Amino acid sequence: MTDVVDLSNRPRQRHPGKDRRLSVVETIRTIRDNIIEVYPPYVFDKDYTFRRIGFQPFVLVNRPDWIHEILVEKPDIYTKGRLNRRILGPALGNGLLTAEGTFWRRQRRIAAPAFHYKRLRVLAGIMAECTEGLIERWDAIADTGRHVDIAQEMMRLTMEIVARTLFSRDLGTSIDELGKAVATLISSFGRTPVIEMLGLPEWLPRLRDPEATRALATLDRMILDLIETRRAAAEPGEDLLQMLLDARDPETGEGMTDAQLRDEVVTLFAAGHETTAQALTWVFYLLDQHPDEDALLHREVTQMLGDRRPGFDDLHPLQRTRMIFDETLRLYPPAFSISRFAEKADRLGGEGPDGLLVPKGAYVTVSPYITHRNPKLWPDPEIFNPERFADEKVHARHKHAYFPFGGGPRICIGSGFAQTEGRLALAMIARRYRLRLKPGHPVMPQGIVTLRPRFGMKMSIERR
């Protein structure tokens, strides 16, 4: 990269955690409200942090080679476990994100072709079309001084993209109802149950929030309607939904039940839009704070794209766009925490004195949010600096110093999809508008399932 960027005056993206270890009661309350606040600033450069709450041991691992061991080398020891099931299961059932073992492997194999890069080339066209739809809407409110919640706007955009690309469905007016149902489910079920944190038995019942139960019913109704409409259609579709419908068990020859189809569709829908929406929201916030980066981005997209609609092949030359998107995922990784369950006692780092003994039954967390801000891996970690993602710097780092999409067999199936969609939308929106944060609007990252801005992101839209 030829552009030299002065970092000295850049605002810091500070971590909101308290500067001390929290009591057990405070920890439980904080985990339910905003998981990242549980981490005091001193954990960022520690290889690991151990904590016991009630009967339950928790280990946070923050060393790239150990993270590699957990995610890539030992998936049979570090399983998704019951915490994932208990948090995500009530809404997602036994879909790709929560399933395990041979069942998970089969489902993953069925879904994989929908995310192949050859398919992404086609889907990029639909992604750009959806972004044009957003631009058309924004043209009507640009330069009016009105502030809109960019977090909600991005959620709408990514929801529409998932519905159209994976299920060939235009959501029309039901998009708002669906968005509300998903948001309610996440904020209700996404909060870690107290009995789980204390390590109490799995059979203890958990309280159901009536609003979340209603949201779940709305979601189920819409998803089952989607499945039934497709079953009744004269022509088969050419999308992920069709792959799921056509899949047959190699031994029994049977297709998936409606319940299983529902779980897969809900999972892909939920996992496929919320995360990318958060990434795009944070990128526009960071660009507002860093006008120099905003200018570099704008120069790149206008020079490379002119006025035309970009496609998949335009993405590779848009290097600054990529670097800005990657650096945003470093500071604000939407999937900020990845948790596993130790099925048996294990030693990370081998038998030497430097190894770490992980007890059987421990919840083991690897956190992109923590490791991406580890000062031993990232100089000046709180500063937004896309130069960190110049090719030679990426190659010089440990692969698991940066893992916004996880790693190993359970790595995000949609990572290529998300990067295509995120970079296309970023390039198209930044080409046309500058977004400005409403003066005085509080910005605070909140970790509940994903890393969202707690108070939304109120911004005005200015045409360039």
- Contact set with ligand HEM (CB under 6 A): 96-97, 108, 162, 267-268, 271-272, 275-276, 279, 334-335, 338, 404-406, 410, 412-414, 417-418
CA-nearest of 226, 220, 224, 219 to 182 is: 219
Q: Least distance in Å: CB of 9 to ligand HEM?
A: 29
Q: Least distance in Å: CB of 353 to ligand HEM?
A: 30
Residue 341, C-beta contacts closer than 8 angstroms, at least 6 positions apart: 78, 79, 80, 81, 82, 83, 361, 362, 363, 364
Q: Which is nearer to ligand HEM, 278 or 460 (CB)?
A: 278
Distance from C-alpha of 42 to C-alpha of 375, rounded to nearest angstrom: 11
Q: Which is nearer to ligand HEM, 331 or 413 (CB)?
A: 413
Q: Least distance in Å: CB of 72 to ligand HEM?
A: 11
Bridge partners (DSSP) of residue 49 are 60
Q: Least distance in Å: CB of 242 to ligand HEM?
A: 15
Q: Least distance in Å: CB of 6 to ligand HEM?
A: 29
CB 261, CB 227: distance < 8 Å = yes
Distance from C-alpha of 339 to C-alpha of 22, rounded to nearest angstrom: 21
Q: Least distance in Å: CB of 76 to ligand HEM?
A: 14
Q: Least distance in Å: CB of 158 to ligand HEM?
A: 8
Bridge partners (DSSP) of residue 293 are none
Bridge partners (DSSP) of residue 50 are 59
Coil vs helix vs strand at 52: strand
Q: Least distance in Å: CB of 415 to ligand HEM?
A: 6
Distance from C-alpha of 175 to C-alpha of 454, rounded to nearest angstrom: 22
Count Cβ neighbours within 10 Å for each residue of 240-259 and write b for 16 or more, e otherwise. bbbbbbebeeeeeeeebeee
Q: Which is nearer to ligand HEM, 24 or 122 (CB)?
A: 122
CB 194, CB 28: distance < 8 Å = yes
- Please give the backbone phi and psi of residue 226, each rounded to the nearest 5 degrees, phi first: -60, -45
Angle subtended at Cα 381 by Cα 342 and Cα 444, rounded to the nearest 5 degrees: 80
Q: Which is nearer to ligand HEM, 34 or 450 (CB)?
A: 450
Q: Which is nearer to ligand HEM, 66 or 417 (CB)?
A: 417
CA-nearest of 371, 382, 285 to 335 is: 371
Beta pairing class for 56-61 and 147-149: unpaired
Q: Map tokens 């390039």 to a residue.
A: 427
Q: Other C-beta atoms within 10 Å of 315: how many? A: 19
Q: Which is nearer to ligand HEM, 212 or 329 (CB)?
A: 329
Q: Other C-beta atoms within 10 Å of 218: how many? A: 17
Q: Which is nearer to ligand HEM, 147 or 372 (CB)?
A: 372
Helices (H), 334-448: 368-371, 391-396, 415-432
Q: Least distance in Å: CB of 64 to ligand HEM?
A: 15
Q: Least distance in Å: CB of 102 to ligand HEM?
A: 13
Q: Least distance in Å: CB of 166 to ligand HEM?
A: 6
Bridge partners (DSSP) of residue 51 are 58
Half-sphere exposure (Cβ direction) of 383: Cα atoms closer than 13 Å: 14
Q: Which is nearer to ligand HEM, 130 or 413 (CB)?
A: 413
Q: Which is nearer to ligand HEM, 386 or 404 (CB)?
A: 404
Q: Which is nearer to ligand HEM, 44 or 167 (CB)?
A: 167
Q: Which is nearer to ligand HEM, 22 or 457 (CB)?
A: 457
The distance of Cα 426 from the centroid of its chain, to the nearest Å, equals 16
CB 372, CB 297: distance < 8 Å = no
- Cβ-proximal residue to ligand HEM, closest one: 414
